[in-house]
Amino acid sequence: MQTFTIKSPLDMHLHLRDSEMLRLVAPYSAEAFAGGVIMPNITPPITTLEALHAYRKRVLEACGNHLFLPYMTMFLKPYEESFFEEAAAHIIAMKLYPAGVTTNSEEGAKNIDSLEPQLKAMEALNIPLSVHAETHSPNLFEREQNFLPILEHIAKKFPKLKVMFEHISSKEGLKLVADYENIYATITLHHMTLTVDDLMGERLNPHLFCKPVVKTESDRDAVLEAALNASPKVMFGSDSAPHPRESKESASAPAGIFSAPAILPKLVEIFERHGKLDNLQNFVSDNAKSIYGINPPEKFVALEKSEYRVPSLCKNRDTEVVPLFAAESCLWGISSVE
């Protein structure tokens, strides 16, 4: 039986939500990964250290006995410089959300220039900036591309600030990452594998609606190539973002794809298919360790080449979520975790 082992896999962009949803989805990530960067846009968003510590405790409780280190983030606001000095020891990054561009981001930034004192303080303290890089452009498919001048402005003005271009989805975005030494990117499973035809080709599939939206074949292929090559500027971040089934299957479906149950089996399958298995360790762990300067728990996740079927539905007492690739078979499955 063919096997493949990943040392300390990391998910560098993860939404775990809260309450019942947190208890449902956290074990899927905690079993497969050694750690993950936890996004702060719960309700209410994480804007104080008290809220941060309380949420971290809830995350760990939801992970149960799995070895999993949550790397915490906070919602970027006009904090005083002294606050950043206090927060630096407790967070891996500050998350910049333009106001209203995605789930629970209403309290986000309305004007990037107004945050320059905060960005300067973060640069001085070596606190990375994590960015949801979209505008409110009328054309949904151009929102990431239209945000690129803002990212470029930040990278130029704060050259020692590490800027994390989250869930990159376009070939234009990848070029910006290549052009600027201080811009890095996370890549999702869904932007590696899906296009707008999957979302709304023959019929609309609300479970594949996300922000940034999945795009053209050329964008998908560019993102896939970047992941497969696993350059030191990119790393895996799932942007796994669950919503209740009843919300997704409604007239106002929220953005978010829940990918956690499928991630490692699908990644191994994809990298093997393209003859790039040797690059997967870098993509799903080592690059992130280098970019962020972290040392995650030692955890060995072994996968074997045998059929694994993604659950058709993930549920607990009060919540149901449809995962990415629901009920589909993978060529690989997790066989052991040590």
d(CA 33, CA 69): 9
Identify whether the C-beta of residue 98 lies closer than 8 Å to the C-beta of residue 154.
no
What mean pLDDT do residues 4-33 have? 98
Helix (H, G, I), strand (E, B) or coil at 9: coil
- pLDDT per residue as tens digits for the range 267-300: 999 999 999 999 999 999 999 999 999 999 999 9
Confidence of residue 98 (pLDDT cuts 50, 70, 90): confident
Confidence of residue 248 (pLDDT cuts 50, 70, 90): very high
Domains of the chain listed by start with CATH number: 3-337 (3.20.20.140)
CA atoms within 13 A on the CB side of 295: 0
pLDDT value for 300:
98
pLDDT value for 105:
55
Tokens 């290549």 found at:
178
pLDDT value for 102:
67
Q: Is the pLDDT of residue 247 over 80?
A: yes
What mean pLDDT do residues 65-69 have? 98
What mean pLDDT do residues 303-318 have? 96
pLDDT value for 101:
59
d(CA 112, CA 89): 25
pLDDT value for 111:
72
In the structure encoding, which two tokens stand for residue 174, read together? 């990848």
Read off the DSSP letter of residue 75: E
Residue 221 is a catalytic residue:
no
d(CA 204, CA 189): 20
Read off the DSSP letter of residue 296: P
| 142-135-290 Cα angle (round to 5) | 95
Position with higher pLDDT, 103 vs 233: 233
Confidence of residue 1 (pLDDT cuts 50, 70, 90): confident
Confidence of residue 104 (pLDDT cuts 50, 70, 90): low
Average pLDDT, the chain: 96
> What are the backbone dihedrals phi and psi of residue 234, each rounded to the nearest 5 degrees, phi first?
-125, 155
Q: Which candidate in 239, 278, 286, 318 is catalytic?
A: 239
Helix (H, G, I), strand (E, B) or coil at 235: strand
Comparing CA positions, the residue from 70, 310, 316 lying closest to residue 207 is 310
Position with higher pLDDT, 105 vs 188: 188
What mean pLDDT do residues 117-137 have? 96
pLDDT value for 110:
63
Taking residue 264's Cβ as centre, other Cβ atoms within 10 Å add up to: 27
pLDDT value for 265:
98
User: Cα 221 from chain centroid?
Assistant: 19
CA distance to 60, 146, 166, 191, 221, per residue, from 224 (Å): 32, 22, 15, 8, 5
Count, residues in the chain = 338
pLDDT value for 100:
59
Cα end-to-end span (Å), the chain:
19
Confidence of residue 113 (pLDDT cuts 50, 70, 90): confident
Q: Is the pLDDT of residue 76 over 80?
A: yes
Identify whether the C-beta of residue 18 lies closer than 8 Å to the C-beta of residue 57.
no
Tell me whether the omega of the peptide bond preceding residue 138 falls within 30 degrees of 0, making it cis. Answer: no
What mean pLDDT do residues 161-190 have? 98
Q: Tell me what percent of the residues of the chain surpass a pLDDT of 70.
A: 97
What mean pLDDT do residues 31-55 have? 97
Q: Tell me what percent of the residues of the chain surpass a pLDDT of 90.
A: 92
Q: Is the pLDDT of residue 109 over 70?
A: no
Helix (H, G, I), strand (E, B) or coil at 246: helix
Confidence of residue 187 (pLDDT cuts 50, 70, 90): very high
